[in-house]
Amino acid sequence: MNDSRSPERSEQTTGRDWMEEQFLPIIQQLELTTLQREFLRHRWLDQVRWAEGKAGTAQRWYRVLRLTTIVGGVLIPALIGLDLTEPASEYLRWAIFCVGLVVAFAASIEGFFHYGDRWPHYRRTAELLKSEGWQFFQLSGQYEAVTTHAAAYAAFAAQTEAIVQRDIEVFFTAVVPGQEKERPDAAPVVPAQAARQP
């Protein structure tokens, strides 16, 4: 039996579609104001989708670049070890040169973009946001003392913003220190005290 909401349908639906199919019906059933549901969709769910997408893209690039480096690194000594006569040796020299360039480019690109650091970072953020969402939906974890989603909403929104803020801080201090800011769409965190002032 093929469940249309299963992640295995990746060839037919995107991860974004799958998450919307999974989370939007739940969000619609919560006893929240329309505005709170909109915030859930446009802040929490959007951040989950963003982190999921970034994790997948970074992981794919990391694997492609690392495999290119590994395979090329193995090929170069093997090609050097071949003892070919002219004119084949001229082609061999060019092949070694080209493989060496590809390996150098792959290693440089991975080193510059830090895909090996990025994908676990984004995966962690996505999983933290999803876990927080599931706890909120089920009124479990830190929300178990609350009896309604409306009463738990403020704590959930604050926790979501704390996760996003931590994601930004870790990204710029540990993942890519010294590089330009990548997330211009991330909302700045405004202290509660400043937000209340007229």
Span 132-168, pLDDT tens digits:
999 999 999 999 999 999 999 999 999 999 999 999 9
Asked if residue 160 belongs to a domain, the reply is: yes
Asked if residue 168 belongs to a domain, the reply is: yes
State which residues form the domain around 105: 15-177
For residues 60 and 54, give the distance between their C-alpha atoms in angstroms, rounded to a whole number. Answer: 10
pTM, entire model: 0.74
Asked if residue 8 belongs to a domain, the reply is: no
For residues 69 and 63, give the distance between their C-alpha atoms in angstroms, rounded to a whole number. Answer: 10
pLDDT tens track for 51-99 = 999 999 999 999 999 999 999 999 999 988 887 777 788 888 899 999 9
Number of domains forming the structure of the chain: 1
Say which amino acid occupies 30.
Answer: L
Say how many residues make up the chain: 198
